[in-house]
A and B are shown apart, each in its own frame.
Chain A
Amino acid sequence: MKKKLKTRIDGTYAFFTGIGMLASLVVAGIIVPLVSKYDPNEVSSSQILPPSSTHFFGTDILGRDVFTRVFDATLIDLGTAFIGVLIPLSVGTVIGTLLGISRNRRINSLVGSIIDGINAFPFLIFVIALVAFLGPGLRGIIIALSLVNWARYARIARTRAVIVNQQGYVEAARTLGYSRFRILFKHIIPNVSSETRAYALSDFIIVIIAVAALSFLGLGVSPPQAEWGAMIKAGSGIITLAWWESVFAGLALCWAGIAVALIAEGLTRRLREGNQK
């Protein structure tokens, strides 16, 4: 009894720490570029100054304020990752659910094997290749992420939909004569998406790192827009001379990832507690 109580507190603690970390990052991402004395993309003083009271994170190789740039990049990184998760989440959930409840075995196994084919490609490699064909930039990254990742959500949703489709409440809704559309969107998809949304949270970490990695490889945002991966890359050339640009941009990326990881960890612990009861 005592042990269970402790687990729940622990899960809640991780969850709210994560929420707090993420919220503070978003708030800083909105406020810092507004109140900062420096423009994120304009040269503000001399080049590669170390961190000081005037430039908290120092300046980069062009003399831009790293502090302002790190927080100017926040919404770009978080936003790209968010859209890059949201689109495949919705598309994959709907397609997977439709496959799970359809009775047409031919279409089912055909689309199923295409999904397996897409999932077979190593994630980052496939995204890099697609970005190459679609053209670099945030739009290309989001399209590439959507084209690759929907298949993973579809696979989870399909497995789940088969189970949900046989549940009593779906049978009951059918017996009551509700329309197929209503059963699909009011009864099946909400129950399927609880599973895909849980995966989306851990996927968000992978995606935000992938977005930064693509920029690091030079396939992301076009300069002068600040972006964490691009900043890590820009600073890496002079890292022995001036560590601050790479390190602070990397720490911001870690901060975002750890925040989401804690939220996910807290939620799974709470969920596990709920299931045990």
Chain B
Amino acid sequence: MSSIDASQNKKKSSEEISSEQKLPDKNRIALRRTLLGRVARSLIVSFWVMVIAFSLLRLAPGDPIRNALGTDATEEAVAAMKKQFGLDLPFFIQFFNYLKGIFSGNLGISFFSNRDVTEIITTHLPVTITIILLSILSAIVFSIPLALFVALSRRPVVTYFFRTATSISLAIPGFFLALLGLLYFGTVLNWAPAAGYEGAFPNNLRYIWLPALVNCFALVPILSRVLHSSLMDTLDEEYVETGVIRGVGKIRFYWSYLLRPSLAPTVVLLSYMVGVMIGGTVVMEMIFSLPGIGRELVQAVDTRDYVVVQSIVMVFGLIVVFLSFLGDLVGYLLDRRVTLS
């Protein structure tokens, strides 16, 4: 940790020098403009995410209310329920009401099951996020040394083996791997419980380490591959050679000379991969029977609770938009040569 702090201080001082030399105002204006542009784009994309999620229910074949009430519901009952949920209003007013609900944190009540959608999401989302965070953390722990090792070994055989192994491991479906893992660790070794869950911090690790490990198995090949190729580019730079000749300390060499200049593409990719992780986590939650939002989603799909499906999809869409903004931003701060797309 101290090495990172030290290098950040170092970064600050080097930045001060460079910004004094390079017209600080111009730099700052450019930064502000790219930032504002990126914020505006994220807001527009979020708008479309909400429109698409909102349209899902309206695009579904058949009348959702009639489906909810069953085939023998009277016309009056259908009309009354429509009025109760504001579904008799014009499309745009419905959408406006929906938006108002989102901003006040109220996603409405499902007219299929009468459950409070906000409550469903706030109770089940933390489990999913914990799994995803643990997956990402372990993926970072595995991929950085792996990529460094392959890049620094400089032996073609290692690189070929690495590339082939990573592309093959991407083709192995996570749910199959999870099942084998559950069979081995759960039944044979009895290290991982197949069902049940405890919410509190140290205890929940017992239930989520295996799903997180399986998730991480899909993430490590991609992350280490991208990091490896940017490390190879960095190794070609002359300043790396200068660093070796000057004999800089090991930690400083690895972090400031090799990793920091190479991390930006990986960080941007990582923020994108969270979307893929979320999909994988849904399946993990089903296999390990964890009470996450993914299991809620599949249950809602099974019971045709469309309102819940729609809201979960929208929440995940918004999370991904926010994270890709964050990833671009961090990538940009790590390496100013990266342009915010």
Contact = CB atoms under 8 A, between A and B. Distances in A.
B326 interface: no
B179 A232 contact: yes
B172 A132 contact: no
A128 B276 contact: no
Given A132-B301, A254-B171, A123 B49 contact: no
Contacts of A205: 170-171
Nearest to A210: B279
A153 to B, nearest CB: 16
B275 A209 contact: no
B301 A219 contact: yes
A253 B173 contact: yes
A240 B183 contact: yes
A263 to B, nearest CB: 10
Contacts of B312: 125, 129
Contacts of B300: 132
Interface in A210-261: 212-213, 216-219, 229, 232, 236, 239-240, 243, 246-247, 250, 253-254, 257-258, 260-261
Contacts of A10: 160
Given A212-B173, A243-B183, A265-B167, A121 B49 contact: yes
Given A124-B280, A128-B297, A218-B302, A261 B49 contact: no
A116 interface: yes
B301 A122 contact: no
A117 interface: yes
Interface stretch (B6-14, B29-37, B52-60, B252-260): B52-60
A14 interface: yes
Contact of A132 (B286, B304, B316): B304
A262 B167 contact: yes
A245 B279 CA distance: 25
B143 interface: no
A199 interface: no
A131 interface: yes
B51 interface: yes
A217 B283 contact: yes
B188 to A, nearest CB: 9
B262 interface: no
B320 A121 contact: yes
Interface string B41-52: 100111111011
A31 interface: no
Interface in A168-209: 205, 209
A30 interface: no
B50 to A, nearest CB: 9
A126 B313 contact: yes
Contacts of B280: 124
B27 interface: no
A271 interface: no
Interface string B294-328: 10011011101010011011001110110010000
Contacts of B286: 216-217
A125 B156 contact: no
B239 interface: no
Contacts of B294: 125
Contact of A213 (B175, B301, B306): B175
Nearest to B173: A209
A258 B312 CA distance: 32
B245 interface: no
Contact of A113 (B45, B187, B320): B45
Interface in B259-285: 275-276, 278-280, 282-283
A260 to B, nearest CB: 7
Contacts of A253: 173, 176
Given A125-B297, A129-B313, A250 B173 contact: yes
A123 B297 contact: no
A1 interface: no
Contacts of A219: 301
A121 B164 contact: no
A73 B183 CA distance: 24
Contact of A240 (B57, B187, B324): B187
A135 B302 CA distance: 10
Nearest to B310: A129
A122 B179 CA distance: 23
B163 interface: yes
Given A129-B309, A232-B175, A124 B60 contact: no
B189 interface: no
A217 B281 CA distance: 13
9 contacts: A10-B160, A116-B41, A120-B46, A125-B294, A125-B313, A129-B297, A254-B173, A262-B164, A262-B167
Report the 3 A-B pairs with minimum CB-CB distance, sorted nearest first: A117-B48, A124-B279, A257-B171
Interface of B: 41, 44-49, 51-52, 56-57, 59-61, 156, 160, 163-164, 167-168, 170-176, 179-180, 183, 187, 275-276, 278-280, 282-283, 286-287, 294, 297-298, 300-302, 304, 306, 309-310, 312-313, 316-318, 320-321, 324
Interface of A: 3, 6-7, 10, 14, 113-114, 116-118, 120-126, 128-135, 205, 209, 212-213, 216-219, 229, 232, 236, 239-240, 243, 246-247, 250, 253-254, 257-258, 260-262, 264-265, 269
